[in-house]
Structure 1
Amino acid sequence: MPVAIVTGASRGIGKAIALQLSIDGYDVALADISSQSSELHEVGAQVQQNGQRGLCILTDVSEEDDIKAMVAKTVQEFGELNTLIANAGIVKPNRLFDQTMEEWDQVMGVNAKGLFMCYREAGRQMIKQGKGGKIIGACSNAAFRPSASGVAYSASKWAVRGITQVVALELAQYGINVNAYCPGPVETEMWSEIDASISKNTGAPLGSSYEQAVQTRMALKQALTPEDIALTVSFLASSKSRNITGQSLLVDGGQYFS
C-alpha cells in the first residue's frame, strides 16, 4: 500500500484530503496539533473504516523536531513514505497597520517555514528510499492576487509558490514531483476567521461574505467544498500527474486565471 502523510488533517480541507487518499488506497499518517487530538482521532477512525491504516501523530509543523519525528514515526509504522501533503495552515486576517509581529511570525512559521521543513524532511526520506515520490503543499489563490485574508497570509502563500518551484527543481533528479494546490474561498473554520475580519472592516453582516464571494468573484458561481480540493490533490498524488512539477494549481471556481 502507498503511504501518505497529511498535516492539518483533523478538519476542513486536510480531513477531506486524508479521507480521499484513503479511498484511493493509501495508508495515511494524520498530523495535527494537540488541541485537535480528538478530531484527529475521529478522522483516523474514518480512514480505517475506508479499509486503510491510519496513524495519528500530534505535530506542530512550526517545530523542526516535531516534523522529523512525524516522518520517522510514519516510516516506522508503515515502512516508507510515498506522498507528503503539507496542508497545515493558519490565518490572522489583519490589515497592514493592525498586523502585529507576533501574528506575522505565527503565520509565517506555520504556512511557510513549516511547509519548507515538511518538504525537506519528506524529500530526504524519499531520496533514501530511491523510489521517487510526490510532495504537495497548500498554497492559495491569495498567492496570485491581493487577498482580504491579510498581509501575513498572502505573503506566506507567495512564499509557498517560490518554495515549491525551487524544491521541484532540486528533487526532479530523484523522480520526486513537487506541486501545490491553490484553493479559492472554501467555507471551513478558517473562512469563519476571514468572515469575521471582513465584517469588522466593512460592516457586512457576519456569515454573509462567503456567498457574496461565490456570486461576485467566481466565474462558475458555485461553492467550493473541501472535497473539490481533495480531488485535485488526489490527481496530483497519482501517476496521472507524473509530468507535472513545480506548479501551483488554482482551484477557485474561476476567480483568477494564471
Structure 2
Amino acid sequence: MTTGKLDGKVALVTGGASGIGKAVCERFAQDGARVIVADLDGARCEAVASEIGGGALGLALDVTQQESIDAVVRQGIEATGGVDILVNAAGIYDVQSILEVTRERTSRVFQVNIDGVIFMSQAVARHMVERGQGGRIINFSSQAGRRGEGPAVAYCASKAAVISITQSMALDLIRHGINVNAIAPGVVDTPMWDVVDAKLGAREGLQPGDVKKRVAAAVPAGRFGYPAEQAAMAAFLAGPDAAYIVAQCYNVDGGNVMS
C-alpha cells in the first residue's frame, strides 16, 4: 500500500544500502517511487532493492570515481527511462582534530562528502535539463556543518560545504525546474554513529555506548533521531507540496539547532 505522492517518479539514492539512505529508499518506495539503490556494496544494494520491491534496482557506486558515477546514472536511466529525484546520502565520518589532521585523510573525506555531491548532482542534473521535466535534488548535510565538532575538523568542513553547494546549485538549476534543497540531521541512530561512538569513546577512555548516551542526553528531545524521520523530510522535499521550496537546509535534529 503506497501513499501515491511519488507515483511515477524514479529516485536515485546514493548511500542507499544502509542508515539514512536505506530509510529514504524505503520511504520513497512506500510513496510510490521506483528506487535506484546505489552504494559501494553492490550486493547489499541488490538486497535492499529486493526488500523494498516496486521494481527497485540495486547498483554499485563509488562517488569518488567519475566512471562509476557516469555508469550508474546511465544504467539507471536505461533501466527506468529517466531519473526524477536524486538524494545524495553517501558520506563518511572521520575523527581528526586540527592538531592531528592529515592531507590524505582530509582528501578522502572531501572526495566523498563534497566532490561526491557535486559530481553526482552534475551527472543527474545534466540528464534532468536535457529531459526537460524538472526534478528534485536533496543533499544530506549535518548539524556538524552548522556548529562544528572539535575532533572532526575535516568532516565538519565537508558538511558545511554541502549547505553552500546546495544553495549554489539551487539558484543555478531552478530556472530548469529543478529544486535543490538539503537536510541537516542531528544525531541519528545509524551504523555510522556506532563508528563515531567507538572512535570518540576510545579517545576519551569510555566504554562502548557511553558517548551515545551522553550525546542523546544533550538533545532537547532527549533521544537520538530515527532514520525514518530523516526519510520523511526527504519524502516531503521530493513531493508536490515542496514545489516552491528552493535552496533551503532543514534541521531534523530534535531541537539541537534553532534557525
TM-score class normalised by the smaller sequence: over 0.9
Alignment of 1:128-207 (within 5 A): 128-148=130-150, 150-207=152-209
- Give 1:32's match in structure 2, choosing from 23, 28, 39: 39
The alignment partner of 2:247 has SS state of: coil
Alignment of 1:41-190 (within 5 A): 41-48=46-53, 52-148=54-150, 150-190=152-192
Q: Name the CA shift for 1:149/1:68 in 2 (closer, same or farther; >3 Å).
A: farther
- Give, in angstroms, the shift of residue 73 of structure 1: 0.8
Number of residue pairs matched by the alignment: 252
- Give, in angstroms, the shift of residue 68 of structure 1: 1.4
The alignment partner of 1:98 has SS state of: coil
Percent identity reads 34
- Give, in angstroms, the shift of residue 209 of structure 1: 1.5
CA distance in 2, matches of 1:148, 1:46: 39
CA distance in 2, matches of 1:3, 1:163: 23
The alignment partner of 2:75 has SS state of: helix
Q: Name the CA shift for 1:136/1:203 in 2 (closer, same or farther; >3 Å).
A: same
Q: Which amino acid aligns with 1:25?
A: G
Which residue of structure 1 aligns with residue 15 of structure 2? 8
In structure 2, the gaps of 5 or more residues are: 1-7
- Give, in angstroms, the shift of residue 211 of structure 1: 2.3
CA distance in 2, matches of 1:103, 1:210: 24
- Give, in angstroms, the shift of residue 174 of structure 1: 0.7
On the 8 A contact 2:181/2:248 being kept in 1, the answer is yes
Query: Structure 1 length normalisation: TM-score?
Result: 0.94
Moved over 6 A (4+): none
- Give 2:29's match in structure 1, choosing from 18, 22, 26: 22
Query: Structure 2 length normalisation: TM-score?
Result: 0.94
Q: Which amino acid aligns with 1:95?
A: S
